[in-house]
Amino acid sequence: MKRIMFVDDEVRILDGLQRMLRPQRHVWEMAFAPSGQAALQMMEAAPFDVIVSDMRMPGMDGAALLKTVREKYPNVLRIILSGYTELEAALNAVPVAHQFLVKPCDQDTLQSAIERATSLNSILNNKRLESIIGSMQQLPSLPKSCMEMREALADPDSDSHRIASLVERDPAMSAKVLQLVNSAFFGVARNISDINMAITYLGKSILENLVLSVEIFRVFRPTVSIPGFSLEELHTHAQFTAKMAGHVAGDNAIRRLGMVAGLLHDVGKLVLAEATPEHFARAIEGAKKEKRPLYEIEEELTGVSHAEVGAYLLSMWGIPYLIVEAVAHHHHLERVACEKVDLLASVYFANWLAHEHDAERRGAAGIPNAPLNMEIVAKLGVEHLLPEWRLEARNTALDLEGVPHGK
């Protein structure tokens, strides 16, 4: 049974939660603490899986409590349950909370948020992943793109597309902004899966606050340089994959979702580069030496690759499940029963095409691409599309390098 801790200084609210969650007592073991200090004492006495804390409390507030929990028990999933009026304070807690919920919160919402946080699908259910993510403070990102975004936001002539494209070309910023938009604060009833949609729903000024709040606490400290890993290159690869995912998906509803998933698909590499740099460096070195795809070496070393690490993080952030799934399976489409070129397939093919282009460009100096799963290609009946996809990949590469070409 999962052990869940609820913390609120208002006895009335704690009682309400206890009553509301009574039907859950066969599934969860629940504890209710009236203060941060009491919660920490109870956590010292016995381990917990999830903590759901109020934001504003006398003494130790929710942000301080979750910060301590992150330091002492990095594997515990941290959820803030807060009022609308505490938005600003709660935003300060962004680095320490995995999810946000707004009070009053009904049983279904609370239950599904906790379930989403606890019952990830079987491939994400891995202690190693939990501890990698749990020990992270924030994702690294590119300060250069932050600066450009700040300028664009300050410019009254910037239209929302320009701002969206600035946000979207940076996977870490994009993920965090979507996390925030999808957290219950903004009262958006549906899942917001891309930045343009976020601007439509929330307006530029809220987006600006989101972007800035993300920028303030995310600090990439390249204390350890990892041979063979470059943020710039990862950035380009993410954009390449996003563009190709959109192309492979075609003109349909999954196109934009595919692009977001493409942007985010390798976000796990950022996590590993920051959280376990020595280990990540060893994996890259192994891939180069053995001439095998990086994810295979990662899987051999720890049982998980950057795909699962990224998916785990995104799912903790409440990013739409479809995107999480596409990220988790971007090297292993055979894990899912794929019947058509859906979101998962678009990201799989897009990533493969991007890596193929990269492997060609680097030749013997690079890491070889994984073989394309021809069984799946045949099953989906896309063999005849491959030459056209390859051509588009070459054009995409030229686009990203800023080289004009006749499409």
C-alpha–C-alpha distance, residues 228 and 285, integer Å = 8
Which window, 67-75, 144-152, 265-273, 367-375, contacts Fe ion (CB under 5 A)? 265-273
Which window, 189-197, 260-268, 283-291, 312-320, contacts Fe ion (CB under 5 A)? 260-268
Contact predicate 75/134, CB 8 Å: yes
Q: Which is nearer to Fe ion, 351 or 373 (CB)?
A: 351
Shortest Cβ 202–Fe ion spacing (Å): 29
Shortest Cβ 305–Fe ion spacing (Å): 7
What is the 8-class DSSP label of residue 35? S
Contact predicate 296/369, CB 8 Å: no
Q: Which is nearer to Fe ion, 215 or 274 (CB)?
A: 274
Tell which one of 194, 266, 325, 358 touches Fe ion (CB under 5 A): 266
Contact predicate 183/61, CB 8 Å: no
Q: Lay out the site mask for Fe ion across 129-158 (x = CB under 5 A, - = otherwise).
A: ------------------------------
Shortest Cβ 13–Fe ion spacing (Å): 43
Q: Lay out the site mask for Fe ion across 212-251 (x = CB under 5 A, - = otherwise).
A: ----------------------------------------
Shortest Cβ 283–Fe ion spacing (Å): 12
C-alpha–C-alpha distance, residues 144 and 141, integer Å = 9
**406 burial class (0-12, 13-18, 19+ CB within 10 angstroms)?**
exposed
Shortest Cβ 208–Fe ion spacing (Å): 30
- Element housing 29 (H / E): strand 28-33
| CB-facing half-sphere around the CA of 343: CA atoms within 13 A | 23
Q: Which is nearer to Fe ion, 79 or 281 (CB)?
A: 281
Shortest Cβ 353–Fe ion spacing (Å): 10
Q: Which is nearer to Fe ion, 179 or 351 (CB)?
A: 351
Q: Which is nearer to Fe ion, 183 or 351 (CB)?
A: 351
Q: Lay out the site mask for Fe ion across 348-367 (x = CB under 5 A, - = otherwise).
A: ---x----------------
C-alpha–C-alpha distance, residues 29 and 373, integer Å = 44
Annotate 161-199 with DSSP letters as a single string. HHHHHHHHT-HHHHHHHHHHHHSGGG---S---SHHHHH
Contact predicate 54/62, CB 8 Å: yes
Q: Which is nearer to Fe ion, 236 or 395 (CB)?
A: 236
Shortest Cβ 265–Fe ion spacing (Å): 6
Shortest Cβ 261–Fe ion spacing (Å): 11
Residue 285 φ then ψ, to 5°: -60, -45
The interface with Fe ion within residues 312-351 (CB under 5 A) comprises: 351
Which window, 5-13, 40-48, 258-266, 399-407, contacts Fe ion (CB under 5 A)? 258-266
Who's near 394: CB < 8 A, 6+ residues apart? 357
Shortest Cβ 399–Fe ion spacing (Å): 18
Q: Which is nearer to Fe ion, 168 or 266 (CB)?
A: 266
Q: Which is nearer to Fe ion, 182 or 351 (CB)?
A: 351
Q: Which is nearer to Fe ion, 115 or 296 (CB)?
A: 296
State the distance between the two ends of the chain, measured CA to CA, in whole angstroms.
57
Q: Which is nearer to Fe ion, 234 or 341 (CB)?
A: 234
Q: Lay out the site mask for Fe ion across 289-308 (x = CB under 5 A, - = otherwise).
A: --------------------
Q: DSSP E strands: which ranges in 308-348?
A: none
The interface with Fe ion within residues 14-53 (CB under 5 A) comprises: none
Residue 339 φ then ψ, to 5°: -105, -20
Shortest Cβ 186–Fe ion spacing (Å): 30
- Element housing 14 (H / E): helix 11-20
C-alpha–C-alpha distance, residues 76 and 66, integer Å = 10
C-alpha–C-alpha distance, residues 45 and 284, integer Å = 41
Number of residues that bind Fe ion (CB under 5 A): 2
C-alpha–C-alpha distance, residues 346 and 135, integer Å = 32
Binding-site ranges for Fe ion (CB under 5 A)? 266, 351
